[in-house]
Structure 1
Amino acid sequence: MKKTLLKVATSAAALTILLASPIQLTVLAQDEDIIATVGEQEITKEDFYQEMKAFYGNATLRTMLLETVLEQNVDNAEAILTGAQEEVNTQIEQAGGAEVFEQLLAYQQLGSVEDFTHQIYVSNMLQEVVAREVDTSDEAIQSYYDNEYAPTMEAQHILVETEDEAIAAIERINAGEEFDVVAQELSLDSSAANGGLLSPFTTGQMVPEFEEAVKSQAAGDVTQTPVQSQYGFHIIKTLNNGEKAPLDEIKEEVTNLYKESKFADSNFSYTIIGKLLEQANVQINDEDLKLAIQDLIDLANQPVEAEDTEETTEETPEEEVTEEEETESTEDAE
């Protein structure tokens, strides 16, 4: 994204206009300020600016402010930019050259190579800033492992229309035929060409019947009873049943997934950015653009945890007073 929409006049040009005669001013205004004409109607730079500001002003200013505050808070913005350029160059080589890579970018609507490089640059700056705020204590990792971590499952399957077809396929596999070969011949699923191999998946990504069958088997086992789902009948070979290994054996994997979950949490990232913007004391002088980053500032100031603490603190004294009053009332009655 371009850093600015309009070029600011140089001091020399401004001085020339100030010293020019009225006639010269008119000529200069026509040359420099009128960017298009429709018949006798003129469109000036000011018209253009106001139109752009009305439609894109907040978004453009927001982007500029976010990039600026990121650059001010990373250790070495220049090194990150160099890293982004190197990353794109590597991708260009892997794609088979600049021309092929540009076609890929166009197909995915990612803009030019320069645009794509800039996106990676900003993304990498954001990741560095967010990474500093991620709590990687043993307690935080344990909590993620207990409550959110879901190991991936892996499986091959053969999908057929009828139960009889499924039973016949199981018999062929039990007789010694390779699962991959039977899948390629019989399966109605698009994975057939790859021997029925599915991409790794986690809890909730497959229909319940399929997921339960994968979980109930050890690695290498094939279902001996066809598994029926809304799609037909499946024969499933479990490659990884998704059973959790002890945390101490997979702590590095869990920690990396935990960090990735934080990077993917836009609310977490936006809160951090909002705090940085607030600390930078950003001042927006154009009244029309005052709200460009207000939502981020508001998000940074949401006292969610503080409110919970205050409510607990306020309730406790009330309960204590009530107990004391009850004790006094009992004593008076005695």
Structure 2
Amino acid sequence: MFFKTGIAGLVLAAAMGVQVSTAYAAGDDPVVAKVGDMEIHESELALGVANLDPQLANLPPEQKRIAALSAAIDVKVVAALAASEGLADTPDFKSRMQFLREHELHNTYFRTNIVGDVSDEDIKARYDKEVAAAPAETEVHARHILVKTEDEAKAIIAELDKGADFVTLAKEKSTGPSKDDGGDLGYFGPGRMVQPFEEAAFALNPGEYTKTPVQTQFGFHVIKVEDKREAAPPPLDQVKDQIRQLIVRDRYVDLLKKLKSETTIDIKDEDLKKGYDEVTKAQQ
């Protein structure tokens, strides 16, 4: 279909892999615990729950809150000790804080102005343009009999030429997983099967079977086409999430292109510059 992966997809995944944030009004963020003079608010606990180790993902909600609270208390007491020893004033700490600040600003902008700005109307317009308006795709309904050798396949074709029933032969002789269903593979469109199999199947008319064995990496096939049809596009509800991700990806990439075109980027290391240029080209 029209959904593609690649470097741009990886960039999107990285940008979307952000911490979950929970917004609280000033009066709706109660204190859940105090550690000395330091307060732990409900918002901080929610962030802690969202960022728990994946191994704790299946814990009941209340146990997640307890785990997050325990971690928050540990962080508070050690952070207080570190601050008392002046570690907040070290160049290393300041550099890390700058790094984290910029990443969180990036992620907040992404959530607010890119992900949060995709409307149902945007999704419907993209669907109408790229899915509903796409040319109809031909699908074939095929059966096959899979055997190990070419001679076995030729013998099956000879039996079919004499009037043998394809379904019966598939159940008796096929080694494929669809043998119990008479070799039935259902309907499939282009790109769903390995190339030699697909070419042979789409070349047949309904009711026809291959007159010579078709070899793939799985063995030798005898293929019969039961039907051909023009496939309807998937309904909007079925692809809505994919289209949303596509819009988000495109808007993110467009934003980066615009911002970078307005900014001087000078990469001193030649190897890094070459690699960066390749990644940028792939994104575009």
Shorter-chain TM band: 0.3 to 0.5
Question: Under a length normalisation based on structure 2, what TM-score does the superposition of the two structures give?
Answer: 0.48
Question: Which one has a larger percent strand, Structure 1 or Structure 2?
Answer: 2
Larger Cα-atom Rg = 1
Q: TM-score, normalised by structure 1?
A: 0.42
Q: Which has the higher contact order (CA 8 A, sep 6+)?
A: 2
- Higher normalized helix content (fraction of residues): 1
